[in-house]
Structure 1
Amino acid sequence: MDWLQLVGAIIISYLIGSISFSYLIGKLLRKLDIREHGSGNAGATNTLRVMGWTPAIIVLLLDCAKGIAAVVIGYQLTGIPVESGIAAGICGLAAILGHNWPIYFNFRGGKGVATTIGVLATLVFAAALTAGVVAIITIAVTRYVSLGSLLFISGTTLLTAVFTPWLQYPGYYTAFLVIITALSFWKHRDNISRLKSGTESKIGGKSDAKT
């Protein structure tokens, strides 16, 4: 393993993750800081609340692309065989950390859901697709984006462990995903409290809560 290349790939992945598309699109289209409006979160859901569907979809796709790019960088820049996936997992995590704590924007970012979608879809597509269907149905029925997001991430982790014997995922993928899941639950801790109390905001509604 070329450790210098690995460190370089991790840094590049973090810097890519640090590009806050919700902030940039807010500035470009509305001359606003998305973090000062709606829920205050720099992500696709708050972009939807503040700016509407088209900017939100653009942010969602671009944030997903950050996760995909980081995993590909991990595969390609380190010289580590694709089947190992070690660098890919680490670089994917670095991109999520960059999104959540972006160096370009005073470390005030989002919750990393869209970037996590890109990472998981690239690393463990079958598990992510299955969990994604459940998450979409959950969001459609309950209109809680946070609940669907948490179900997607935790469900992908569980299914990766279940599918590993058949799809031959490396065993350490599950370890990476457990870390990513724990990070997501921590970032969503306020949402979890509001879900328990029944005060969580629903998609399509107006709220000043930090969702």
Structure 2
Amino acid sequence: MTATYPILAALAAYLVGSLSFAVIVTRVMGLSDPRTYGSKNPGATNVLRSGSKAAAIITLVLDAVKGWLPVMLVVWFGKPYGLNGGTVALVGLAAFLGHLWPVFFRFKGGKGVATALGVLLGISVWLGLAAAATWVIIAFFFRYSSLASLAAAAFAPVVYLLVDGVVWYAEGTIAGAIIVMAMLLAWRHKENIERLIKGKESRLGSSKPAKDERAAAPEKPTAK
């Protein structure tokens, strides 16, 4: 029976990760579905294009929480059931995969940046803060959200292994999960990478999105 617990925990984490809060929040707030405009990505950055900063912030926080919570539940309550670092890695990865391929939304999810950050914060607050700081620094200097996300994803497994024995004791299974998340996150950003190379990626704070993302922006209602 003990071997069943990690599987059940991973399944529960995947279902939690499958809650696409970009879609849920915009529906509750009466906004356009983020899958119909901009990059069509159900994530906080695209929700911001709706013009609602509140919706974007709520989406960002909830997407991070759904990565953080399953990991923390294992950390808090898993020991009596024999759930260890291997289960933490499995659960964190499952929540991340749920965001990428949500069962409740026809397996069409987002890119996983906020959820990955939540998983990292669950593994270690310091690891999550280091990844978040990397994102902020790259975004501040280069003004590209996608580039900042890619840099933070690449940095996370490096710092996790580099600081082994100093801030935490690295575990192979957790390191493997972080590397897989980084690789999948990079793969989900392949179109952004192409636009970055071509110089067509939209910058943070830009009033005009890149040509590739201009179509299908949510229209403002006009007075009759």
Alignment of 1:28-47 (within 5 A): 28-47=28-47
Whether contact under 8 Å (1:41, 1:110) holds in the other structure is: yes
- Secondary structure, counterpart of 2:64 in structure 1: helix
Per-residue CA deviation, residues 135-182 of structure 1 (Å, 9 max, x unaligned), is 202112222111111111211111001011322222332211111111
Alignment of 1:16-31 (within 5 A): 16-31=16-31
| TM-score, normalisation: structure 1 | 0.91
Amino acid paired to 1:63: D
2:193 maps to 1:209: no
1:62 and 1:12 mapped to 2: Cα distance?
Answer: 16
1:31, distance to aligned residue in structure 2 (A): 4.6
2:23 and 2:87 mapped to 1: Cα distance?
Answer: 29
Amino acid paired to 1:64: A
Equivalence for 1:196: 197
Amino acid paired to 2:199: G
User: Please, which runs of 5 or more residues in structure 1 have no aligned partner?
Assistant: none
2:169 maps to 1:173: no
User: Could you say which structure has the higher helix fraction?
Assistant: 1
Q: May I ask how many residue pairs the two structures share in their alignment? A: 209
Whether contact under 8 Å (1:127, 1:163) holds in the other structure is: no
- Secondary structure, counterpart of 2:49 in structure 1: helix
Alignment of 1:119-198 (within 5 A): 119-166=119-166, 167-198=168-199
- Secondary structure, counterpart of 1:121 in structure 2: helix
| Root-mean-square deviation over aligned CA pairs | 1.9
Pair member with larger Rg: 2
Alpha carbons of structure 1 residues 10 and 194: separation in structure 2 relative to 1, 3 Å: same
1:122 and 1:112 mapped to 2: Cα distance?
Answer: 15
- Secondary structure, counterpart of 2:107 in structure 1: coil
Whether contact under 8 Å (1:14, 1:98) holds in the other structure is: yes
2:131 and 2:72 mapped to 1: Cα distance?
Answer: 22
Equivalence for 1:116: 116
Whether contact under 8 Å (2:157, 2:175) holds in the other structure is: yes
